Structure 1
């Protein structure tokens, strides 16, 4: 069996430990040794570079690539699946080897990746977001028409429910369709037309039913939760991760610490909406106004949660913004007080723990899957990281990058 040696680089292992020089040996898609002075049948020279576990983005939407309502209305339905293939490729090219799609992608997209029909990160899917009438997932517009972000189809049902029994049935339907995680909206949001991100949505009995049905199937629940009361309702009823967490107060932070709830900040998202609007994207004025309204509160909430010790996993909401810009999130994390190694940990081991895959990936250690990224520079510097990616590996095989920057010599 061929031993592939990654030699001479600085290794960031996915934990909070400081990076150090080490060799990595890969056999049959797995890391079998990490240390100094190792040997191999094939050698990849990483001198002057550093190596990380494959990055993980815990919150993306691969079926869209930047929100523009008029453009989306003029896009043929099936085109989004071809665009998803391109979005997945862009994501892989910046070193992200696993993503969790927070609604939009269906089982067919996941199977296309698993069969090797398209290239991209490993994928977990939520399929559709569960929302109340008038909530973040309700696409009704004031003109009386429905303008969906994701059109319903046989593999992706609508997610609007009211009451515990409708919630129960919707979770079971999504699980039947292949959902790896259930997503619920426990507050309003920025992109939705007729709600307020400061308002809580769904009642405790509805959220509790969603969590109970998901747990019965052995999967977890992620919550779009921006409003303070919506965040607390999600935590109180056993949701595993709070997505966005814009209006966290001290009590909500203490609840997250007590329950071990993860936070997926998506600092990228409001910035992307503002940038898209400035570039001329067709977005309703109310959406742009909400994006400006939430950004300062969002940054402050994530800063305070980090200082308190809340578990953080990197997620971007790319799809709202452009795919391939995912690693900008690490810089935004630095801006709210996280160190470089903490930001890297959030997109490696911590994200793997959130997704329930830490037994398989997220670290550079013996037995872990050899999903690796080789980069120029130093792990202390995470600015402009995407432009420094030189080789991306899945199961030890080069899947993106120039052969001279990553293949066996």
Structure 2
């Protein structure tokens, strides 16, 4: 995907991910271009203390935004005389949170930042990933470390054989594993709920109880109806994927008031109907791509299309990608507020009306710096 990074005003330029935008060039004969346009292109702010003027802030209205020291200093009343970026006719939306990635499997932190993703939930990585961070410091990461699994259980015989699973034989060992992960910095615990070899119901409940005692949520890989039901009965908080097997009504209701991460494009849209049912029952829905098991290294237009197919309108999609996961995971990215991080995108259309515009940001700022 080519991401368009545009200089605002009357001059536009485009660049591919990972390459700095080219200097703005007049689109017509040089003598036909006002001198002020070239001057503005030369001083257009890329970081520091500056203002964005003329854009519509999603959920707020047409107001100016002041950025200082990587944070949003003001929305509305912005001092005069600051270096400024003119964005008339554009919209400002929060940078996105991807609630399901595997950065150890596909290190793509810089590409995510360039594409408008400010935070991720890393659901399964070797233990070392908790202490030896590889992602850029600008990328906020909520990490699980390895899944807690049964001996020989998923994913240790498959894609995760190199440390992506932490095997436990019983409930006591499972509790110790939760403590070890929490002490190493995990902020969420992930478990597979599968056919044998699998965690017993007692072991699964022990994991959930211990994780909740450590104030950690538990996410489950559970793709079939019987597995999703078992996860709900154990007290699991969030489905790491929308299940692909049609869910029975009792299973759907068991997930009312909990959460589900879409990853719809990872399964070719097979889970769309389940996602729709879970949302209808009152589950919190979160945007996620399963990066690593997929090759999506930016905001996914395909995932947005499938969210639309699942019945979400533009506002619901914006929420699932920004403020919803910000609240669910208790992180400050994904919001636009005074004092919050200046991590946002400038897009060509109102994403509440045209959500696909989020996948094609015209400019991305992370922690107040133009990517």
**Which TM-score bucket, shorter chain as reference?**
0.7 to 0.9
- Following the alignment from structure 1 to structure 2, what is the Cα–Cα distance between the partners of residues 338 and 186? 28
Contact 1:264 1:312 (C-alpha < 8 Å) held by counterparts? yes
Query: SS of the residue aligned with 2:55?
Result: strand
Contact 2:289 2:296 (C-alpha < 8 Å) held by counterparts? no
Query: 1:151 and 2:162 equivalent?
Result: yes
Query: SS of the residue aligned with 2:297?
Result: coil
Q: Which residue in the other structure is 1:331 paired with?
A: 305
Contact 2:349 2:357 (C-alpha < 8 Å) held by counterparts? no
Q: Which residue in the other structure is 2:266 paired with?
A: 269
Shift of 1:120: 5.5
Q: Aligned match of 1:22 in 36, 56, 63?
A: 63
RMSD of aligned C-alpha atoms? 2.5
Which of structures 1 and 2 has the bigger CA Rg?
2
Q: Which residue in the other structure is 1:348 paired with?
A: 322
- Following the alignment from structure 1 to structure 2, what is the Cα–Cα distance between the partners of residues 307 and 255? 12
Q: Which residue in the other structure is 1:79 paired with?
A: none
Query: 1:365 and 2:364 equivalent?
Result: no
Q: Aligned match of 1:56 in 85, 97, 105?
A: 97
Provide the TM-score with structure 1 as the length reference: 0.71
Shift of 1:109: 4.7
Q: Aligned match of 2:238 in 241, 246, 249?
A: 241
Q: Map 1:134-283 onto structure 2 (within 5 A).
A: 135-139=153-157, 148-149=159-160, 151-152=162-163, 158-187=165-194, 201-246=198-243, 247=245, 248-257=247-256, 260-271=257-268
Query: 1:123 and 2:123 equivalent?
Result: no
Shift of 1:339: 0.8
Contact 2:91 2:350 (C-alpha < 8 Å) held by counterparts? yes
Shift of 1:134: 5.0
Query: SS of the residue aligned with 2:291?
Result: coil
Task: Give the helix-richer structure, 1 or 2.
Answer: 1
Shift of 1:108: 4.3
Q: Which residue in the other structure is 2:287 paired with?
A: 314
Provide the TM-score with structure 2 as the length reference: 0.77
Q: Map 1:65-84 onto structure 2 (within 5 A).
A: 65=106, 84=107
- Following the alignment from structure 1 to structure 2, what is the Cα–Cα distance between the partners of residues 40 and 251? 61
Which region of structure 1 is more displaced relative to structure 2, 202-211 or 96-105?
A: 202-211
Shift of 1:345: 0.7
Provide Cα deviations, 1:110-143, integer angstroms capped at 9, x if missing partner: 3x54xxxx4652112111012224532231xxxx
Shift of 1:333: 0.5
Contact 1:5 1:24 (C-alpha < 8 Å) held by counterparts? yes
Query: SS of the residue aligned with 2:286?
Result: coil
Which region of structure 1 is more displaced relative to structure 2, 310-319 or 362-371?
A: 362-371
Distance 1:373 1:304, change over 3 A: same
Provide Cα deviations, 1:19-62, integer angstroms capped at 9, x if missing partner: 73222223333323323776462322222321111100010011
Distance 1:229 1:99, change over 3 A: same
Contact 1:227 1:245 (C-alpha < 8 Å) held by counterparts? no
Provide Cα deviations, 1:239-273, integer angstroms capped at 9, x if missing partner: 2211113143322232222xx311111102113xx
Q: Aligned match of 2:363 in 391, 402, 406?
A: 391
Q: Which residue in the other structure is 2:278 paired with?
A: 305
Contact 1:62 1:88 (C-alpha < 8 Å) held by counterparts? yes
Shift of 1:343: 0.8
Number of residue-to-residue matches in the alignment? 318
Distance 1:148 1:308, change over 3 A: closer
Q: Which residue in the other structure is 1:286 paired with?
A: none
Query: SS of the residue aligned with 1:312?
Result: strand
Question: What stretches of structure 1 of length at least 5 have no aligned partner?
Answer: 14-18, 66-83, 140-146, 189-193, 196-200, 272-294, 401-409
Query: SS of the residue aligned with 1:159?
Result: strand
Contact 1:25 1:34 (C-alpha < 8 Å) held by counterparts? yes
Higher relative contact order (CA 8 A, sep 6+): 1
Query: SS of the residue aligned with 2:84?
Result: strand
Contact 1:104 1:150 (C-alpha < 8 Å) held by counterparts? no
Contact 2:299 2:358 (C-alpha < 8 Å) held by counterparts? no
